Amino acid sequence: MTKEKPPPAGTSSFPRSRCIPAVPMVNSLGTGGILSPHGTPLLPTETIKPKPHMTTRDLPPIILLLLDAAGANRFSLYGYHRRTTPEMERLAPEAAVYRYCFTPSPWTIPSHASLFTGLYPHEHECNSSLTGMRSDLLVLPEILRDMGYHTVGISSNFLVSRPVGFHRGFTEFYEMGTLFQDPRYLEAKARYLKARKELKTDWDRTKYIFKSLREIGDYTFPIKKNIDKLYQKFFADPNVSTVVMTRRTMRLAKKLIKRFRAHGSPFFMLINLMETHRAFEAPFPFNQAFQQVNPQVKKRLADPAVNDFIYEEDPALRKERADLWNVCLDQEILFTDSLVGDFHRFLRGENLLDRVLWIITSDHGEGMGEHGLFDHYFSVYNEVLHIPLIVKYPRDFGVRGEFSHLAQLHDVFATLCEIADAPWPIPFSSHSLLNGSRDFAFAELLDNSRGIDYMRRRKQSFTIHSCMLPGDTGISADLWKLIRWQDGTRELYDLNRDLHEEVNLIKDPQYVDKAAFLDRQLKEVRDNS
């Protein structure tokens, strides 16, 4: 890799990545290549050959730590009133902190697919567990693997898994929601989970299991599956508690890093933690850090019968639930932050800090009663879209400090492709963090019918509000935001003064031109992708 003069702290002067104006398409000629919009081959899909001057010795280790459902609005590093992230604040002077990073989707599957492809959700079309990752798109782990990286995924999220296709490109892929990591078992389990959607009766499921046993030659599958059920129920259920799974995940990550260090091989490691996702059961002493929560009250408010009303307009219930869950979530973030601090010290002890590229981010945030909403499945408000992005670059990059320009989660794709010197055209949707700011951020919720159907099954009188419909949003470089809902409702916010979107300016005549400009930008994103 040719050496560039490192930019001064807090700036970037790296060359612009290559971009193409469309989603890569599979070569219909059967040659296994990728076609440009004009039908000319761009790159073979089988193997990406490193450039002649590139050696694996030049590749920095890459660790992507993704804290599921951890919004930037809960981090004291980002201005939150409780000190939830003291360890990340200690790391910050060594890192680049991106103040305005937004995820392209408010929930797990499409946001991870964007991270892996550099594309917006309407481009990659991976918007549910039923569709899965398109096989004709190269994904980040495949690119890094073919550039010489040993690629490892460690996922605590059952959606970031084999059935959805997120294991593609990983040399090793660990699903921490199971006790068993035997590839045959995991593949059999993935096939079963996919087939189960079509199997209507217990007898059909039993027949399928025994048919699969003959195919894979592993008759321990039913026993392991039942043991896994118990493990998942008590230790790996994101709606109950994930502390055991989280600690297993971090122990495994450290063990693998030591192995890679011993072998001298460059590695890319994805770590997905579910600790900040919904259950909010921090271990002692973190569960008492800000307030000792009455377990009976917590149990009552976590009851499914109460959750029927989480999107309804009972102000007293909404406030009681919000007050409780805000404390519980903050204590979970504090616990997760302690794991980041421990990992920071581990990397220092392994003499990796000067060389490693360590990214800390999230796939989306969590609604805690803002705009009358809990959870993250509905809406494109900032409590679910504004995410942390902290990047500890290798020391010789000279990139650190606070950055106030726009960034998006899937900009990680272009950044890592550039750092690995991958000969791969970068989609317009992804911008390298090393090449300055993007002009526009875009996010969308394409389909939330499953969430609405679920709520209506639980409560027939469930009211659908505009902000629960599919919608998209655009944020300009000067931090103005337009939201467009499917029913035609629009909202306009000045994020410079109103990051939490409390004052809708769409009806203010002095901002008509601003709304029109953002509307044109949104149309341009749609037309060019």
- pLDDT tens-place string over residues 383-415: 999 999 999 999 999 999 999 999 999 999 999
pLDDT of residue 330: 95
In a domain, 226, yes or no: no
All residues at 6 or more sequence positions from 67 whose CB lies less than 8 Å from its CB, including other chains: 273, 275, 276, 336, 360, 361, 362, 388
pLDDT of residue 51: 41
In a domain, 132, yes or no: yes
Distances (CA, A) of 505 to 127, 371, 395: 31, 16, 44
pLDDT of residue 466: 73
* Cβ burial 149-181 (10 Å sphere, 16+ → b, else e): bbbbbbbbbbbbbbbbbbbbbbeebbbbbbebe
SS3 310: coil
- Say if residue 12's pLDDT is above 60: no
| Region of poorest pLDDT, from 108-117, 185-194, 510-519 | 185-194
pLDDT of residue 185: 81
Q: 7: pLDDT confidence band, cut at 50, 70 and 90?
A: very low
pLDDT of residue 356: 98
What the block records as the tokens of 410 is 């899937």
pLDDT of residue 226: 84
Task: Report how far residue 509's alpha carbon sits from residue 521's, in angstroms, rounded to the nearest whole number.
Answer: 20
> Helix and strand tally (H, E) in the chain?
15, 20
pLDDT of residue 230: 86
Please report where in the chains the tokens 């421990």 appear, as a residue. Answer: 342
pLDDT of residue 201: 76
- Average confidence (pLDDT) over 355-365: 97
Distances (CA, A) of 332 to 72, 154, 301, 463: 14, 20, 17, 31
pLDDT of residue 68: 94
| Region of poorest pLDDT, from 96-110, 205-219, 467-481 | 205-219
Task: Report how far residue 472's alpha carbon sits from residue 443's, in angstroms, rounded to the nearest whole number.
Answer: 6
Q: Phi then psi for 98, rounded to 5 degrees?
A: -95, 115
| pLDDT tens, residue by residue, 97-139 | 999 999 999 999 999 999 999 999 999 999 876 678 999 999 9
Q: Can you give the pTM of this predicted structure?
A: 0.85
- Say if residue 304's pLDDT is above 70: no
Specify whether the CB–CB gap between 441 and 495 falls below 8 A.
no
In a domain, 506, yes or no: no
pLDDT of residue 463: 73
Share of the chain above pLDDT 70, in %: 81
If one compares 398 and 179, the residue with the highest pLDDT of the two is 398
Range(s) of the domain holding residue 120 = 61-177+236-435
Find the CATH number of the domain harbouring 100: 3.40.720.10
In a domain, 382, yes or no: yes
Number of domains in the chain: 1
All residues at 6 or more sequence positions from 463 whose CB lies less than 8 Å from its CB, including other chains: 311, 312, 313
Q: In what order do the strands lie in the sheet with 41-44?
A: 25-26, 33-35, 41-44
Query: Distance between alpha carbon 481 and the CA centroid of its chain, in Å?
Result: 22
Query: Distance between alpha carbon 449 and the CA centroid of its chain, in Å?
Result: 21
Distances (CA, A) of 292 to 15, 211, 298, 339, 527: 52, 51, 11, 21, 52
In a domain, 99, yes or no: yes
Torsion sign, CA atoms 331, 333, 335, 337: negative
In a domain, 94, yes or no: yes
Closest CA to 176 of 154, 191, 153: 154
In a domain, 500, yes or no: no
- Say if residue 35's pLDDT is above 80: no
Closest CA to 128 of 505, 484, 446, 476: 446
- Say if residue 431's pLDDT is above 90: yes
- Say if residue 237's pLDDT is above 90: no
DSSP state of 513: H
In a domain, 378, yes or no: yes
Secondary structure in 3-state letters for 327-352: HHHHHHHHHHHHHHHHHHHHHHHCCC
- Average confidence (pLDDT) over 465-478: 88
